[in-house]
Amino acid sequence: MLRTRRLGLVALSVLASLCGLSSIGYSSPKDGSYVIEGVVLDNANVPLPGALVTLEERNGEILKKTFTTSDGHFIFRHLAEGDYLIVAEKVNYTLTTKVAQAEPENERHLLIINLTPEPGEARGRKRAPWVINTSGPMFTGTADVEPWGSWYYEPWLYNFRTPSQGSSEYYMPQRLAIGLGHNLELDNWLTIDGNVLGPPSTPRGVSVSYFGIGNMHTQLKYQWLKDQDTYSFWALPSVATNLELYFPTGKYTNLNPNLYGADQLGNGTYNEGVSLLVRKRFKPFEYYFQITDLIEDPTHVYGGYTFNNGLTVVPPGQSLRMVDGNLLTYSGAFEHVLTDWGLGYVLEFYGAWQSRQNLFFGRANAPPWSFFWIDPAIEFNWPNTNTFVATWGFGIALPIMRWDYPRVITPMATVTFYWNGGGPRGE
């Protein structure tokens, strides 16, 4: 019952952070000139930033809430003289309550509160975990899930440029990730997509463009294992699986021949997939890995439709019940965080292979293809407060190997707007 109540308070504090508040007021704290100042530490006396601290009357009535700063400190001002309850809590730590006396501003003493890792989290760890918000890889997901009441919004921009075709696609997924508790996270993507075409995809001197909604995507993530020691390369990493669904909301039929394919914003298939994700931190480094197998359901396509390889087109006036082969994607990344405010770099690889066979629907009649890219990127955080963090990343994907697939160069950018009461992304 107590845990349920506290989770509700975290949700309210997140809502307050969206309104730009650093603390939340409830009942009147009997405004006065007294203060309570303190610091929240782990059991090794390492400061804990982003811990939720609640000021209560002795009868449990909530007065104020705040979050600890980067050095673990908090302060409640404008209090009346008397005793109060101070409740400190943080994800993966046991809740701790202390009685504190409000003191005059010039006579105040520091209240020290130690939080103990929950039993499952303390195993194999002798100090507070290394956690930091970073932008992370551009293609590889994270194996860590958001806690209950935590969420973030993350838009991307991928500019797939194919010089041999005179084409430039602006692929802009908009991701909303929500922590469901019980090691579960729900992610949803709404995609804005657009194509700009010039010669030789269009006649000489002609340029066309088209923008709209692309395919939608949702996934349910379950974390099986949490990083056992964020300072050791050899400790067990975080491990998770995704169940994924894609919906063909992007335009792929009734294509206008005068737009030369620019108005095709999807492939027309419902897709089901499963992913395995791994993430390991060993300060100041991290590595990520993801492999996904995707089954694309058959669909009917018509003249002017371009297959997934970006090269083969259904001839005008013809139609086809298209069967795509299984799509396997794989990626991995190495991340080096250089500063406490998230400045760093990421070295990532990303590959895809569409086979000649569909696991559920037999032999494919869509062309098989594959590619392998590398994409270096830089990252940093700004702003970074106790309740809100924005992480920024910029990179470029370069083709290394390709088979029946065009040479594509991809500048990329992303920003994450992250709210969860001071905790780091993926924690």
CATH number at residue 235: 2.40.160.40
pLDDT at residue 119 in the model = 64
213 plus 293 within the same structural domain = yes
- The verdict on residue 424 lying in a domain is no
Confidence of residue 427 (pLDDT cuts 50, 70, 90): very low
The C-alpha atoms of residue 104 and residue 101 are separated, in whole angstroms, by 10
313 plus 415 within the same structural domain = yes
- The verdict on residue 132 lying in a domain is no
- The verdict on residue 163 lying in a domain is yes
84 plus 204 within the same structural domain = no
Q: In the predicted model, is pLDDT for residue 2 greater than 60?
A: no
- The verdict on residue 408 lying in a domain is yes
Q: What is the pLDDT of residues 377-426, one digit of tens each?
A: 999 988 877 567 889 999 999 999 999 999 999 999 999 887 754 444 44
CATH number at residue 59: 2.60.40.1120
> In total, how many domains does the chain have?
2
- The verdict on residue 426 lying in a domain is no
106 plus 158 within the same structural domain = no
- The verdict on residue 67 lying in a domain is yes
Percentage of the residues of the chain whose pLDDT score is greater than 90 = 68
- The verdict on residue 21 lying in a domain is yes
331 plus 407 within the same structural domain = yes
Q: Which amino acid is at 134?
A: T
Q: What is the mean pLDDT of the chain?
A: 87
104 plus 165 within the same structural domain = no
Contact 114, 96 (CB under 8 A): yes
195 plus 255 within the same structural domain = yes
Other Cβ atoms less than 10 A from the Cβ of 229: the count is 20
pTM: 0.72
pLDDT at residue 3 in the model = 36
- The verdict on residue 389 lying in a domain is yes
210 plus 355 within the same structural domain = yes
pLDDT at residue 21 in the model = 38
Contact 35, 29 (CB under 8 A): no
Q: Which of 139-153, 318-332, 381-395 tops mean pLDDT?
A: 318-332
98 plus 167 within the same structural domain = no
221 plus 302 within the same structural domain = yes
Q: In the predicted model, is pLDDT for residue 166 greater than 90?
A: yes
The C-alpha atoms of residue 259 and residue 147 are separated, in whole angstroms, by 46
157 plus 295 within the same structural domain = yes
227 plus 355 within the same structural domain = yes
pLDDT at residue 240 in the model = 97
Range of the domain at 50: 2-121
